[in-house]
Each structure stands twice: as structure tokens, then as C-alpha cells.
Amino acid sequence: MIAAFRIPGAGRLRQAETASFSFDGHSYAGVEGDTLASALLANGVHLIGRSFKYHRPRGFLSAGAEEPNALVEIKRDSARKTPNVRATVQELYDGLAAQSQNRWPSLSFDVSALGDIASPLLSAGFYYKTFMWPKSAWKNFYEPKIRAAAGLGVAPDQADPDHYSARFAHCDVLVLGGGAAGIAAALAAAETGVRVILVDEQAEFGGSLHFESGAKIDRQDGFAWAQSAVAKLKTMDNVRVLSRTTAFGYYAQNFVGLVERVSDHLQNPGRDLPRERLWQVRAKRVVLATGAIERHMVFADNDRPGIMLASAARTYLNHYGVTVGRNVGVYTANDSAYAAAIDLKKAGVGVAAIVDLRDNPTGPVIEEARALGIEVNFGRAVIRAGGKLRVSSMTVQPKNGGGERTIPVDAILMSAGWTPSVHLFSQSRGKVAFNDETKRFVPGAYAQDCVSVGACNGTDGLSATIDEAYAAGAKAAKDVGANAKGNKPKVDASENWSRGMLGAAPGAGADTTVKAFVDFQNDVTAKDIRQAVHEGMRSIEHVKRFTTNGMATDQGKTSNMHGLAIAAETLGKPIPQVGLTTFRAPYTPVTFGSIVGHARGPLFDPTRKTAIHPWAERQGAVFEDVGQWKRAWYFPKAGEDMHAAVDRECVTVRKTAGLFDASTLGKIEVVGPDAAKFMELLYTNPWEKLEPGRCRYGIMLREDGFIYDDGVVGRLAPDRFHVTTTTGGAPRVMNHMEDYLQTEFPHLNVWLTSITEQWAVIAVQGPKSRDIIAPLVEGIDMSDEALPHMSVREGRICGVPTRLFRMSFTGERGFEVNVPADYGQAVWEALWAEGQKHGACAYGTEAMHVLRAEKGYIIVGQDTDGTVTPNDAGLDWAVGKKKTDFVGIRGMVRPDLVANGRKQLVGLKTKDPKVVLEEGAQIVGDSKQAIPMTMIGHVTSSYWSENCGRSIALALVAGGRDRMGETLYVPMPNATIEVEVTGMVFFDEKGERLNG
């Protein structure tokens, strides 16, 4: 069986119906090579969607990527639902299921179409004006209602199960567009041997040769020539040919983004195939052969299903073998629509009349149309279309007024002329120039190494196009050092098109109120554009935003020039003075999937795990994310919640000992004859006199005098420092050091090496820490005399090398055992076994935080925020008073940084010891003051301390150190909390336990 509107023998598809598909639940048959659009049209279906704002019934306008109306949802399964697919682009496969969008309850009866009747309320800029009263109703009523009624498809509600791949590519000549021009340019370049990539968005190459029945190249039908030329290109090793691939963005230095649709056209895409592939191509030369897009005529009710571009009707006939009607009318202002009428007539389709706005056009197509017996009317306009769900008639009137005549038709083919596709050229930052004679914007000044050829360059006629394109391809190859010696394709026959018109046609002029659509997808009429100008919009950018003309997903491919011309006419200015809106990427919508590629789920960001991570996992540790690191947060025993686990860990460390994985700590080795001098410049502390084998707590400032990082630094040798940084700060500290070493202090003989991942670090803290470590250590005297607090030795532990630090971030006697990361877990397990003999525990980052807060040790980035000086943090003792230079030395003493009343770090004790403050809570001096209160500081750290038997907190408070003992207030939503200002040390104020 053959579908009702498929014409036997017409088109290039094998007409055996092999695919069945559904649209809104109805089943239809299609043939191999169909698009969803051509298959529906073959079955006589024109009504495909409802419009965005007025819910007007809509049909197919085009046969390609510029389609504004025919947006559908394609559903493969519950997770694979793609909204807003252009039916004119979607290739048919057996079993395809499509749904119409933006209608309720059904496509042919849509309740919201009442919006069409209420449309005077919905004209341009309506949301700025109409729904202003009462004010609160906008947010709660109008906006949700309008948003529900307006719109396109519905986003899928499940994660995308498909995968997407990405590739980088480099080439000498990248040809964008695979019509006659692109193929000719690619041939010329490819024959020289340079690397060529040829790209086209359609399934088959040929561009407008899909419909141009009058084209003959190298003694073949134009489309057949295109296929054989591309087949030849595919055999060449230096050429890559990509079909179903859209060049969506043209970026700096000939960097072009392509999306290849790999499997959307397949019935059962295998799991090994990505859905789409993103190509990022860097080309030495780019040839733009992006063609031109036909414009519609702007007349009353020009959006009725069955009214479409003349070239679309030709494509459906000449390529797909489908007629879009039985009795078609043609409305045109240029020659190309005549060819549609002629092709249809020759295929046996009735052509009711051609209505031509021009007064006395002449030429071969006009003669041919007449010779075929088609009625041709000059100097007349179609002033209105009849019908609702399908066009039923066109009403014709002399363009200067006069008697009306209504002609019954079931389709209207229209052409107002052709708009060069300068999108990618414009994206390349090239400047378009307006040709007043042909009324088109064409490429003007170039900004990159590219060239436009053919219709996108305003070149008319196939011969001229191929000459220009072939020469451009050869020149591009020559520019990169290759010489052409091929055979230029010879054009034996071609079609010639004249120019057309811009703006509203007679009958839709300024004196009318008809709905003559300029932008179909956003429901913008000629009247809306005029209204925008009348309401004060002068620039096309303002008109665009006020009316939303050209702002839909089709980016105004068919509407921009009409909108511009109407605005210019209304303003009484020439078109170039009103300006063209900027073209931006993407050329057509691009899926998030193709941009994201494989960078999702676990591949979105690297996960860093320490050598001891598997052990912590086995122990049932709960982890927290610290930057890219997974850190053990706490180690709950059976029945323990976080609170209980942390309390137990904190108490055990102070009672016996605890093991803590500190491997994530940033570590940098500073080595060289000038290492000490370098340290003097990068840290506030003095380093020259630090004995090898000793450690010091160092503070790093930025040049502005604020604390940037901190950490314990061990001097291993006169020329070697083992520097530790905060976990999160490691990369930026390394960058900061490299910056100064390379650019400000290049005279210093120093090398910097990141050793964060080379050393696993096991902190053993608590009164029993030495007893746990000592049995495993060789070659290091562990006595307090030989290894006092803040010292470092190199030796062996468990038979492997170690850098053993005696240091403490808990206030207890403590050690940090550095071992090569590969031995980290084995040494940890050995220490754990020793620790078990003494009742030690493993503790996580939460207990680490509590223990350090009990001692008033700060965490840079938590208790400081980039506006805290060493003095603010109570760390003046760490700033070398005799030093003449270090980074931050000058910034630190700027007037505002030494002024009275700065926020200083202090301790806070709540009056009720059971109340734990919230970190970030604001602090006020007087809780009775009027709102808004004057806030004098905020809580930076706050915990329950089981060791202290109460809550503890650190806070930045204005003039804090002068407020010791003062009562302050922390207002919270439910209550105001009274606090007392205290010192920062809550436990073992004298520090005796460091040697305990």
C-alpha cells in the first residue's frame, strides 16, 4: 500500500513501506529515508502542534532545521523522552513514537486556544503591562498561569540513560555545509592532499540539491552528483566526512563546535553507540557554505496548517515523493516559488493559482508555468487565508486594493525570498554588510581565517556558486601550503532566483489589526513589531526583547529579516540603521548531554582517596567530602550516632590515644641553597635560625596582609624544608609559592615539589602515643630530650622510611608519622595493632575539629575568611618582628588593618553550657536594640566538648580581646542566647599535656 499523498515514481525513496510509527497514538506507515514530517505529510497530516502563546493550530513550515512549528516529543521509553524535536529533522525509524506538545486535551481541540480570542490582552510586552494589578497576583496567580499555558515541550523527569562522547580534531580546511558549494570547496581542497573535514546537518549531502530539480552537474542530476562526489571524498584518507552533524558554534581562532547525531535515527541503537558526539575542531582555514533559508510571506492567518515555504513543498515532492496537497495555491514575491508550482503540476498535482506581488516579472519559470496552464496573477496579494485546522482558501486582492476573490486551496506555498545563513560567520565575529540592492545581509569584514561561499555569501546561481566555492577550497589549501590540481565540477544546468521582499505584505500593513505572523514559534505578528516601535523601542535589540521576535529555539531563522524590515519601516529608517540582532551559538539547539559528554556521575570530578581509605571503609567510617578528598568523618560503633561517636573519640584521645589519617594535608618540599631565604619571604615567621630537626608553625599571608594559609614546617636539613598546608589550600599555596619564586624572587636558588600524595600521614595523638609508636621505630631516639615537641626526625618505622614529626593539633603529646604512601595502610595497621594494646581509637575529622577547638587552634578558612590579619587571629607571636620583608609585611600595617575595633578571634561560652551555638550565627552587644540590630561579629566554630563538659565556640568579635568577660547575645529565630567572651583555650590552658 502506498500512502494517500505519496506520488508513485516521485522522489528518491524506495516507496515500499517498511516503517510503522505513531503520532499522538495514531499509527501510520512510512518508508525508509523519510523524516517524521515527510511521513506524516504522506499520510495527509498537517496539524502537528499548537503555538506557544495563542495555542493556534500549526503545521509544517519547512523541511529542515529552520522549522519553527513542528516540534514534537519523541519517546523511546520512560527515560528517553526528548521534547522539542523538529519533526522536519527527525528521521523515521520503525516503531518511532511521537507526541504533540503544548495542547490540552487534544491537538485538534485545545482549550487554551481561547487565548487566541483573548489575544488583544496578550500582545507584545503584555506581561509588562496587563497583569500589573493587584501586585501580589503576579507572583501567585498570573505568572504560574501564564507559564503553564505558554511553553514548548516538557522536560524529561528521569536521568538520561544514554551516553555521549566527545572528540577533538584538527584539520587544514573545515567545510561547514554540504550543499553544492561545500562539496565543491571540499573537493578542491581534498585533491591537494590537505586534511579536510566536510560537515552537513542532514542525513544526506546535497543541501538545496534535495529539491532543485533543474540542477545538472557533470552531466548528472545535481543530487546524484552530490552523492557521487561525497562518495569519492569518503574514500580519501585525508578527508573526514560527517553527516547528521551540526556546526553549532564558531569560537576564537577557528575553533568550531560540532554535534554529530549518531543514533537518534536508529530503531535500536546499540549500547556501544553514543547518542551524540561532540566534536571540537581546530581548523587552519574554515569554508562557510551554510546556504540560505527561504522566508515566508507575512499576511493574515499565514500560520494555518498547510501553508508552507515553497522550497519545503519541493523537497517533500522531489526528495520524499510526497505532495503537500491536491490543490495548492502559490503566493510569492520571487521566482523560486514558480519552480514549486511547476514541479507539482508536472507530478499531477492541481495548482489553483500563482499569486505574485510583483507587477510584471519575466523569465523562463514564468513562461514555463504559463505553458503548463497554471493561472498566474501579477501585482496581487493574498490578504487572508481561510480554514482553521487546515488552510481551505486564499483570498486574493490587487495589492493596491480592489475586489477580493477567494480561491479554494488545501495548501499555500509561499516565498518572500532567501536569507543568507550568516549565523556562523557572525559568530566568528565577522561583520555583516547590508546590500541595499538585494536587501540582504551578507558577510562583510572577516575576523578570522574563514571564507563564505555560495548562497550564504549572497552568490546567486549554481555556476557562480561552484566557481566561487571551488576557488575558495583551492585557496584555503594553498594558504596552508598545498597546491590544487583537480577538476572543477561543471555545471550543465541550474536554476536562477531573483530577490523577493522583506516585511509585511499588502493586507497586513500598519492600518490593519490582522494576525500576520512574523515569528511563528514565539507568536509574534507584524502588529506586535509595530506596537513595540510605537511604545518607544528604537533599536532592533529592544524590539526583539519587547516582542520576543527571534528569541525562540529557532532563533528567528525565518523571522529576523521580516521583523527588522517592519521595525525599520515603522521607524522610517533604512534597515542598516536599525541594525541586525547578534547571532549567538548554538545555531540549532544542542543537548546538555552532548556538552557534558562523559563528565557526569563519578566522572564529573575526580575523587581522591588516601592510602588508608580502604581500612577506614572496613571499619564502617562515615566519610565527608573535603574538596575532592573523601575523609573519614567519624567511626561509629554499633548503636552510636554521630554525637556519641565523636564524644567517645574525643575522650579516648585525651585519655589514652587516637589514630587519625592526616594524609590529605598539603605537603610541599622546599629545597635548595636559598630555601631558608625563600621561607623567610613567604611566611611571616623567622626561619634562618630554625635548627635542622625542629619545626615551627608558619603563617602565610597574601600581599594585602590577610592570612592565606598556615601549617607546621619541619626543617629536615639546612637546605630542605618539609612544609605542610591546609588540605584545601595545597594547590593554591603551591601556585602562590611558584609565582613568587618564578617572578619576584627568581634570584633564589630553590626548587618546589608537591609531595602531598607521596607521603601518607598518620597522626598518633594522646598520652599513650609514644608507647604506641616507639616499638615500631628504628633509628630515632624518642625521648623528650632527643625528640621534643615541635621536632622532626628521619628514620624507619616498620622497616620503611619515615619522617617522624613530634607535633600536636590536639594539645596532647602527639606525633605525625609520614611514610611513603604505598606503605600507608600497612604502617597504619601496625600502629593500630599497637594502639589496641593501649585502648586507642581511630578518630575522624569531626573529633579532630573538636579537639583543636578545645585548644583554640584555628582552621584557616573556617575561623578566618580572607579578611583576618595575624593580629586579628591572636597570632602576632608568629610574625617575625625583626624581619625587613615578607609577603604581606606592608599590607598588614595598612591604616584600616591596625585600627581599633577590628574583629578579633575570641572564645565564647554560652551561659547555659548545654546550648551549642550555630556556626555563622551573628552576635550583638545589646539584645534589646531595635531591629535591624548592629551586628558586632559572628560565630566561626562551635561544638559540644565532652572533655570540657560544655559547649565551646570561637568567634570573630569587634574589639573582642577587650571584651573578656563581657556578656554578648546571639539572637536566633526562637530565642536569644547569652554568651560570655573568653579566651580561645578551653582545655589545659597551660599546655602541660603536650608532654603528658
Residue 286's nearest CA partner among 193, 176, 201, 420 is 176
CB of 738 to other proteins, least distance (A): 7
CB of 447 to other proteins, least distance (A): 7
The answer to whether 632 and 314 are in contact (CB under 8 A) is: no
CB of 517 to other proteins, least distance (A): 38
Hey, what's the cell of 128? Answer: 509588562
**Structural element, H or E, at residue 651:** helix 642-655
CB of 430 to other proteins, least distance (A): 12
CB of 747 to other proteins, least distance (A): 10
Q: What backbone phi and psi angles, to 5 degrees, belong to 165?
A: -115, 175
CB of 750 to other proteins, least distance (A): 15
For 504, 587, 887, the CA distances from 566, given in Å and listed in that order, are: 7, 24, 63
Q: Which is nearer to other proteins, 237 or 885 (CB)?
A: 885
Task: Please report, as a single letter, which amino acid is at residue 300.
Answer: A
Helix (H, G, I), strand (E, B), or coil: what is residue 361?
A: coil
Q: Can you tell me the distance from the alpha carbon of 693 to that of 700, in angstroms, rounded to the nearest whole number?
A: 21
Contact residues toward other proteins (CB under 8 A) are: 251-253, 255, 280, 282, 429, 447, 703-704, 735, 738-739, 742-744, 746, 884-885, 889-891, 894-895
CB of 605 to other proteins, least distance (A): 16
For 66, 411, 549, 743, the CA distances from 554, given in Å and listed in that order, are: 6, 23, 11, 50
Q: Can you tell me the distance from the alpha carbon of 374 to that of 339, in angstroms, rounded to the nearest whole number?
A: 12
Q: Which is nearer to other proteins, 736 or 909 (CB)?
A: 736
Residue 72's nearest CA partner among 32, 105, 107 is 107
CB of 248 to other proteins, least distance (A): 15
- Helices 526-534 and 560-571: angle between axes, nearest 10 degrees: 40
Q: What backbone phi and psi angles, to 5 degrees, belong to 201?
A: -80, -20
Report DSSP state, residue 141: I
Helix (H, G, I), strand (E, B), or coil: what is residue 943?
A: strand
CB of 890 to other proteins, least distance (A): 5
Q: Which is nearer to other proteins, 697 or 740 (CB)?
A: 740
Helix (H, G, I), strand (E, B), or coil: what is residue 500?
A: strand
Beta bridge partners of 516: 300
CB of 168 to other proteins, least distance (A): 9
Q: Which is nearer to other proteins, 136 or 743 (CB)?
A: 743
CB of 607 to other proteins, least distance (A): 20
Q: Which is nearer to other proteins, 266 or 893 (CB)?
A: 893
Grid cell 587544514 is found at 172
CB of 732 to other proteins, least distance (A): 11
For 783, 813, 941, the CA distances from 991, given in Å and listed in that order, are: 19, 10, 21
Q: Which is nearer to other proteins, 538 or 894 (CB)?
A: 894
Hey, what's the cell of 635? Answer: 567511626
Q: Which is nearer to other proteins, 891 or 913 (CB)?
A: 891
Residue 657's nearest CA partner among 509, 839, 795, 802 is 839
Q: Which is nearer to other proteins, 94 or 738 (CB)?
A: 738
- Backbone CA torsion sign across 122, 123, 128, 131: negative
CB of 2 to other proteins, least distance (A): 51
Q: Which is nearer to other proteins, 436 or 744 (CB)?
A: 744
CB of 682 to other proteins, least distance (A): 13
Q: How many CB atoms are located within 10 Å of the residue 557 CB?
A: 24
Q: Can you tell me the distance from the alpha carbon of 173 to that of 470, in angstroms, rounded to the nearest whole number?
A: 13
The answer to whether 355 and 331 are in contact (CB under 8 A) is: yes
- Helices 540-547 and 526-534: angle between axes, nearest 10 degrees: 120
The answer to whether 48 and 54 are in contact (CB under 8 A) is: no
Q: Which is nearer to other proteins, 221 or 479 (CB)?
A: 479
282 CA to centre of own chain: 20
CB of 851 to other proteins, least distance (A): 36
CB of 424 to other proteins, least distance (A): 16
Q: What backbone phi and psi angles, to 5 degrees, belong to 982?
A: -135, 180
CB of 741 to other proteins, least distance (A): 9
Q: Which is nearer to other proteins, 702 or 720 (CB)?
A: 702
Q: Which is nearer to other proteins, 222 or 870 (CB)?
A: 870
Q: Which is nearer to other proteins, 282 or 405 (CB)?
A: 282
Beta bridge partners of 793: 804
Q: Can you tell me the distance from the alpha carbon of 629 to that of 612, in angstroms, rounded to the nearest whole number?
A: 12
Q: Which long-range contacts (CB under 8 A, 24 or more apart) does 927-936 make?
A: 927/969, 927/971, 927/976, 933/971, 936/903, 936/968
Hey, what's the cell of 811? Answer: 594539645
Q: Which is nearer to other proteins, 630 or 736 (CB)?
A: 736
Q: Would you call the peptide bond into 932 cis, given omega within 30 degrees of 0 as the criterion? A: yes
Q: How many CB atoms are located within 10 Å of the residue 810 CB?
A: 28
Task: Please report, as a single letter, which amino acid is at residue 762.
Answer: I
Q: Report how far apart the first and last C-alpha atoms of the chain are (Å, whole number).
A: 96
CB of 715 to other proteins, least distance (A): 25
Q: Which is nearer to other proteins, 800 or 897 (CB)?
A: 897
Beta bridge partners of 589: none
Q: Which is nearer to other proteins, 778 or 876 (CB)?
A: 876
Q: Would you call the peptide bond into 506 cis, given omega within 30 degrees of 0 as the criterion? A: no
**Residue 572: which region, alpha, beta or left (left: phi > 0; alpha: psi -120 to 50)?**
left
Residue 12's nearest CA partner among 317, 346, 349 is 317
Q: Which is nearer to other proteins, 422 or 887 (CB)?
A: 887
Q: Which is nearer to other proteins, 747 or 928 (CB)?
A: 747
